[in-house]
Amino acid sequence: MIKKLASYIGKYKKNTILAPVLMIMEVLMDTMIPYIMAMMINNGLEKGNGDLDYVIRTGVLMLVMSFGGLFFGVTSGMNAAIASTGLARNLRKALFSKVQGFSFENIDKFSSSSLITRLTSDVTNVQNTFQMIIRMCVRAPLMMVFALIMAFRLNAKLASLFVIAVPVLAVALYFIITNVHGFFKQMFKEIDNLNNDVQENLLNIRTVKAYVRESYEIDKFEKITAKISGIAVKAEKIMVIQMPIMMFVVNAINVLLSLIGGKFAISGEVEIGTLNSLFTYTMQILMSLMMVSFILVMLVMSIASAERITEVLNEESTLTNPENPVMEVKDGSIKFEHVNFAYEKGEDKNVLTDINIDIKSGQTVGIIGGTGSSKSTLVQLIPRLYDITLGSLKVGGVDVRDYDMHVLRDAVSMVLQKNQVFSGSVTANMHWGDETATQEEIKRACDLACASEFIEQWDDGYDYMIEQGGNNVSGGQKQRLCIARALLKKPKILILDDSTSAVDMKTDAMIREAFKNEIPDTTKIIIAQRIASVMDSDMIIVLEEGRVAGIGTHDELYKNNEIYREVYDSQVKGGDDDAA
């Protein structure tokens, strides 16, 4: 996993190496200064009447080293920042393009909101830890080693006090970290839940308000946050022991140093400057131990994030291009032969069973069936949004799995049931269908979809800015814009999945009329709840519970198919408003 993530450092390798190298220099400076200080006091101040010259020389040296330390510290920090933000950028880029290549099945597996969390907070976690690691991982151990070496050089006897203190502290820290680890893992899982919850709520805030569910949502939110703070408190309870233990050991060493060192100093065995600097080294050594424990905690916290990122990076798209793809879709004919399909593989949960349909190029086909009868599922197989489980599905006489995926999807234009427009101008939205479309072509597509009538009433016309999620256009307008966008692809097959449900009957009929006259060679598949929308099709398919319950023209089905007759009678004879 670490190797995988490290490969995304990319062109920031230089900074990644520079940061710790500069840090080594800073540590060198920091640990040398107390040593020189000892020299200054011992040789400059203590000897006889003092040696001002020596004091000035060592003083200047210390000053230079302090500036050096400052310089190395700042540059190391800068390099670490560049390297870590660079890593984050590369990771996000890689994740984003990976997700773009995902099939619907891949996305179903992770869920959109979890993908958002992985792309945002998880990457930030890894970024912060990475920045810490390349600076502190070098600083802490080095500081300890250097400080120990310098202390021993100053006075081996007194420095041996550290040899006892360091292991005691290390054991205590180890104990704390291993205990706290589990809590952090738990906490991050809960934060995930929190993120999912917030995302779902905010994306659907209009529904929440429409159903007056605010207080329920607030309750739910409070429960999760209470759980998180509960776990965090447990973890912190253990973490807070760290500081007092540290301070206790530091103070104990200081007391011992004062006692033993004082005795040595009086007997002349140790000089005052040495003793003074040993106190500084005590602090440095213990600080570095503290840093190590901090790093370990950070590491524990970000391992979960790193795992979640690599999971996405390692995910293979379930739909892949064949080796020698067919690069042209000949015509708009579609043939289903004994097709079965299940969303969950391996289980006997077919949502489509034994589908046999033969559609000729240029035909208009209507599909009707109750909610959940798998209408959407059926048409999603045609542009290979999902792969069939069993049987064969041919478009233009060739198995859909043999086509280059882009070629196939360009030829099959689909207006999804959960259709979406994007923030940007009308024209920009139309360019999704065809990047090179001219203004005339756009207008023609909008005419066909009966969209130009309302676009041209807007002050900005085709420059009208659509808001995120299409919140400033009506449901019916959105549907018509989506149809126009699909038309611009000049597809061989056009699929409308319940795409005129929010359009009034008259406009609906006008759109169908326009299709018949203007794009006669395109195969048109229309899913609808209103029977009037499919009545005049060349072929109507009645779906029930994932099976074909009837195929034929309106007259044939009305005569022979009970389901169709019932639906027709209830909608037309029942005086349904829609069918009036």
Encoded tokens for 481: 């814009």
CA dihedral 140, 145, 149, 152 (to 10 degrees): 90
The nearest distance, CB 451 to Mg ion, in angstroms, is 22
Q: Which is nearer to ligand ATP, 108 or 410 (CB)?
A: 108
The nearest distance, CB 105 to ligand ATP, in angstroms, is 8
Q: Which is nearer to ligand ATP, 112 or 229 (CB)?
A: 112
The angle formed by the CA atoms of residues 537, 540 and 542, to the nearest 5 degrees, is 155
Selection from ligand ATP, Mg ion, none that 517 binds (CB < 5 to 8 A by kind) is none
* Residues in 459-498 at the binding interface with Mg ion, rule: CB under 5 A: none
Q: How far is CA 371 from CA 205, 368, 499, 528, 543, in A?
A: 25, 9, 15, 11, 10
The nearest distance, CB 496 to ligand ATP, in angstroms, is 12
The nearest distance, CB 513 to ligand ATP, in angstroms, is 25
The nearest distance, CB 528 to ligand ATP, in angstroms, is 10
Q: Which is nearer to Mg ion, 431 or 547 (CB)?
A: 547
The nearest distance, CB 384 to ligand ATP, in angstroms, is 15
Which of 340-351 are b and which e, b meaning 16 or more Cβ less than 10 Å from the residue's Cβ?
A: ebbeeeeeeebb
**Interface with Mg ion by CB under 5 A: which range of 244-252, 283-291, 415-423, 452-460?**
415-423
Distant-in-sequence, close-in-space partners of 480: CB < 8 Å, separation ≥ 6: 446, 449, 450, 451, 454, 503, 507, 511
Selection from ligand ATP, Mg ion, none that 322 binds (CB < 5 to 8 A by kind) is none
Selection from ligand ATP, Mg ion, none that 427 binds (CB < 5 to 8 A by kind) is none
The nearest distance, CB 99 to ligand ATP, in angstroms, is 16
Q: Which is nearer to Mg ion, 376 or 413 (CB)?
A: 376
Distant-in-sequence, close-in-space partners of 198: CB < 8 Å, separation ≥ 6: 221
Q: Applying CB under 6 A, which residues contact ligand ATP?
A: 108, 343, 351, 369, 371-377, 417
The nearest distance, CB 367 to ligand ATP, in angstroms, is 9
DSSP state letters, 415-481: E-TT----SEEHHHHHTTT-TT--HHHHHHHHHHTT-HHHHTTSTTGGGPEEPGGGTTS-HHHHHHH
CA–CA distance, 2 with 307 (Å, rounded to integer) = 9
Selection from Mg ion, ligand ATP, none that 284 binds (CB < 5 to 8 A by kind) is none
Instruction: Report the Cα 101 to chain-centroid distance in Å.
Output: 14
DSSP state letters, 339-384: EEE-SSTTSS--SEEEEEEEE-TT-EEEEEE-TTSSHHHHHHTTTT
- Taking a C-beta distance cutoff of 8 angstroms, is the pair 472, 466 a contact? yes
> Which residue bears the tokens 């959109």?
112
Q: Which is nearer to ligand ATP, 108 or 538 (CB)?
A: 108
> Which residue bears the tokens 């065809």?
434
Selection from ligand ATP, Mg ion, none that 492 binds (CB < 5 to 8 A by kind) is none
CA–CA distance, 72 with 426 (Å, rounded to integer) = 54
Q: Binding Mg ion by CB under 5 A: which of 42, 79, 376, 477?
A: 376
The nearest distance, CB 380 to ligand ATP, in angstroms, is 8
Look at the chain and count its residues: 580
Under the binding rule (CB under 5 A), the answer on residue 317 touching Mg ion is no
Q: Which is nearer to ligand ATP, 106 or 376 (CB)?
A: 376
Question: In angstroms, what is the C-alpha Rg of the chain?
Answer: 36
Q: Which is nearer to ligand ATP, 289 or 334 (CB)?
A: 334
Q: Which residue is nearest to Mg ion (CB)?
A: 376
Selection from ligand ATP, Mg ion, none that 371 binds (CB < 5 to 8 A by kind) is ligand ATP
User: Judged by CB under 5 A, how many residues of this single chain contact Mg ion?
Assistant: 2
Query: Could you say which DSSP state residue 318 is in?
Result: S
- Residue type, position 496, single letter: L
The nearest distance, CB 294 to Mg ion, in angstroms, is 53
Selection from ligand ATP, Mg ion, none that 473 binds (CB < 5 to 8 A by kind) is none
- Taking a C-beta distance cutoff of 8 angstroms, is the pair 423, 417 a contact? no
CA–CA distance, 17 with 11 (Å, rounded to integer) = 11
Selection from Mg ion, ligand ATP, none that 464 binds (CB < 5 to 8 A by kind) is none
* Residues in 512-571 at the binding interface with Mg ion, rule: CB under 5 A: none
Q: Which is nearer to ligand ATP, 19 or 367 (CB)?
A: 367
CA–CA distance, 335 with 119 (Å, rounded to integer) = 40
Under the binding rule (CB under 5 A), the answer on residue 417 touching Mg ion is yes
CA–CA distance, 535 with 553 (Å, rounded to integer) = 8
Q: Which is nearer to Mg ion, 129 or 533 (CB)?
A: 533
The nearest distance, CB 377 to Mg ion, in angstroms, is 8
CA–CA distance, 144 with 167 (Å, rounded to integer) = 12
- Taking a C-beta distance cutoff of 8 angstroms, is the pair 409, 383 a contact? yes
Q: Which is nearer to ligand ATP, 375 or 512 (CB)?
A: 375
CA–CA distance, 168 with 20 (Å, rounded to integer) = 28
Q: Which is nearer to ligand ATP, 374 or 523 (CB)?
A: 374
Contact positions toward Mg ion, by CB under 5 A?
A: 376, 417
